[in-house]
Amino acid sequence: MTREADIGPRLSRRLAYLLKRALIDLEDLHREHLDPLGINGRELSVLLLLQAREPESQQQTAERLQVDRTTMVALLDGLEAKGLVAREADPADRRRNVVALTDAGRRTLEKAVRASDKAERRLLRALDESERTQLRALLARVAADEHESP
């Protein structure tokens, strides 16, 4: 494993390095914990988004997740094949697909959130509860600020 001494203090303290390490480790943990549910982290984020905003068109979903609409097609193809979401032509505008969670999608979502909680706790096990809250709060403020005035 890479230890701080191996790469030097200047690199190991750069924010981009620290964020990337944390994200890669968290993605590995998500792979591990979500695998039994048959979905990945990306798909979990789509399910979470749909739960908050359904029913919604594919394009709106893509924009909110900041992915290309062609990427969303493939993502929804996968989720639909697993029976977790359903596409239906919008009666009011037959060009649009209305996307919604299925019952199975809702059940998988709740299990997946618990699995993701586990992955997060595992990543942050070196921190106590108040420090975990603090980290999340600091990151949330950074994200909120970026949204405000780019």
Binding interface with a copy of itself (CB under 8 A): 1-4, 6-23, 25-27, 30, 41, 45, 48-49, 51-53, 64-66, 113, 116, 120, 123-127, 131, 134-136, 138-148, 150
Nearest-CA neighbor of 127 among 145, 115, 139? 139
Least distance from a copy of itself to the Cβ atom of residue 65, Å? 7
Task: Choose, by CB under 7 A, the member of 64, 87, 106, 118 that binds DNA.
Answer: 87
- Does 67 interact with DNA (rule: CB under 7 A)? yes
Burial of 51 (0-12, 13-18, 19+ CB in 10 A): middle
- Does 23 interact with DNA (rule: CB under 7 A)? no
Q: Give the nearer residue to DNA in terms of CB position, either 38 or 121.
A: 38
Other CB atoms within 10 Å distance of the CB of residue 89: 11
Do residues 112 and 123 lie in contact, with contact meaning Cβ atoms separated by under 8 Å?
no
Do residues 99 and 52 lie in contact, with contact meaning Cβ atoms separated by under 8 Å?
no
Q: Which residues sit at the interface with DNA, rule CB under 7 A?
A: 42, 57-59, 67-71, 73-74, 76-77, 87, 93-97
